[in-house]
Amino acid sequence: MKLIASNTHSNVAPGLNIVELPNDADPRTLKLEGVDRIDLNFPKFTDGRAFSQAFLLRRRLGFKGEIRATGDVLIDQLVQMQRSGFDVAVLREDQHLEFAQRQFDRYKAFYQGDAVAIQPLFATHVANQPHEGAAA
């Protein structure tokens, strides 16, 4: 996941079609054709509706573009954001990029599947191993 400091974030990017989706909007109503990036807002860190929006966009609607977390984004939320389908997070002003990166270093793998890695870890591991009794 790419991390961006709040003072370097821009809502405008030349040549990109960017949609800012309010956290109370239903992503299923969006026309995704031609959209390069969707910014999902966390108005307060306790409001997690953007997690559901990202999951819907990534898994159910098959959106392949960038999903960016904006607003009250804290370091504690980053791993779950990535697992929900976010590509980029714009950290709140008082959050430090180097501390944020440590979150990803702490949690390298998960047992259950998510929006990015659909298969659970055990299924991925089993699929890569020869079956007992199978001819080599």
**pLDDT, average across residues 26-41:** 94
**Of 78 and 130, the one with more pLDDT:** 78
Backbone angles phi, psi at 8, to 5 degrees: -110, 0
Arithmetic mean of pLDDT, 27-35: 93
Among 93, 82, 80, which Cα is nearest to 4's? 93
pLDDT tens digit sequence for 75-114: 989 888 888 899 999 999 999 888 888 876 776 655 565 5
